Amino acid sequence: MSNESERLLISGAGAAGLSLAVGLKDAPYEVVLVDQNPVPDKDFLAQDTRQIALSKRSQYYLESIGIWDSIKSYVTPIEKVHVSEKVFRTRVILNAADHELDNFGGLIPLGRLILTLHEAIESQDNLLYLPDTKLLRYYADHEADEAVCHFKNSEAEFSHAFKWMIAAEGTHSTLREMAGIQTAFTDYDQVAVIAVGTFEKPHNNVAYERFTSRGPLALLPVNTHEMAIILTVKREERAKWEAASDSSFSDEVLFRIGAELGMITSVTKRHVWDLKLMVPKTLCAEYLTLAGNSAHALHPIAGQGLNLG
């Protein structure tokens, strides 16, 4: 039985907030998960082709909360990581087998991970999920020793008191800002152009990180011949890459990686992300802990954002 007078708030139901909520399924108190967005459409999530790399540690966490078995058939393992520099032709190859691991983790469609986490919270006894609910502000009630949060949904504004709050609100966090936690932002002056491409040759479960004078490129293995492509370009070129044809995008990827994987035979629609480094001065404040992108935002070249927890 959960103790409803001992409530914990998770603000934000992205991958970080959802996986924390599932991880608290045996906690002896009520967990309230709010998100300003509506419940995501299950068909949309199931068809989402955006890929995310999960490290071995993320795999162990998902195993510990009972999620891994439901998603492991969708995961493409990374067995080797090939890091190289184009001009000087230097390279380092990391092999999971050398570290007595079967792999370094793997790629999963982000929508599949979110969908599975949503299915898990549906049957969670100690969880109250409030979609379409935006956290507006909070104040500390020291006499009652709790934080009082103010929310808004389509019908009303209302308040709830919590013993603890977790900000999983992404890079721009209301809770973090209201707690007065300072952040250092560094602008990379770059955007990431992401897509999934199919290559002529099999990738053999190798991930590539390639550094070039035009910016870095990451290729992460999916299935047998597909690669999640993260092409980093200068921000001033954003419009050019948003409008780029499949063939000019593929040409740029091949210019950076070379002939190792053969030609690109098809490529999905591109998504473009602004890249910034965000480091908060502290991860905790009175009644509050930061998680996911509320706790850090970094360059996606090494695929570590969510993996850092």
Ligand X SMILES: Cc1cc2nc3c(=O)[nH]c(=O)nc-3n(C[C@H](O)[C@H](O)[C@H](O)COP(=O)(O)OP(=O)(O)OC[C@H]3O[C@@H](n4cnc5c(N)ncnc54)[C@H](O)[C@@H]3O)c2cc1C
List interacting residues with ligand X (CB under 6 A).
11-17, 34-37, 52-53, 134-135, 168-170, 174, 192, 194, 230, 273, 292-293, 300, 303-307
Min CB(192)–ligand X separation in Å: 4
DSSP state of 41: P
Backbone angles phi, psi at 150, to 5 degrees: -115, 125
Residue among 212, 269, 261, 242 at smallest CA distance from 89? 212
Q: CA 106, CA 230: separation in Å to the nearest integer?
A: 16
DSSP 85-133: ETTT--EEEEEGGGGT-S-SEEEEEHHHHHHHHHHHHHT-TTEEEETT-
Min CB(217)–ligand X separation in Å: 12
CB of 28 or CB of 80, closer to ligand X:
80
Min CB(293)–ligand X separation in Å: 4
β-strand partners of 51: 109
DSSP state of 89: -
The CA-based angle 89-238-108, given to 5 degrees, is 65
Min CB(159)–ligand X separation in Å: 14
Residue 272 has, within 13 A of its CA and on its CB side, a CA count of 15
Residues 136, 174 contacting (CB under 8 angstroms): yes
Min CB(1)–ligand X separation in Å: 27
CB of 174 or CB of 250, closer to ligand X:
174
Residues 254, 265 contacting (CB under 8 angstroms): no
Q: CA 177, CA 171: separation in Å to the nearest integer?
A: 11
CB of 262 or CB of 309, closer to ligand X:
309
CB of 17 or CB of 199, closer to ligand X:
17
- CA atoms 170, 207, 71, 264: torsion sign: positive
Min CB(266)–ligand X separation in Å: 20
Backbone angles phi, psi at 147, to 5 degrees: -105, 135
CB of 87 or CB of 211, closer to ligand X:
211
Min CB(214)–ligand X separation in Å: 17
Residues 10, 20 contacting (CB under 8 angstroms): yes
CB of 231 or CB of 257, closer to ligand X:
231
Residue among 3, 7, 81, 10 at smallest CA distance from 291? 10
- Single-letter residue type at 2: S
CB of 3 or CB of 282, closer to ligand X:
282
CB of 28 or CB of 140, closer to ligand X:
140
Residue among 252, 249, 254 at smallest CA distance from 270? 249
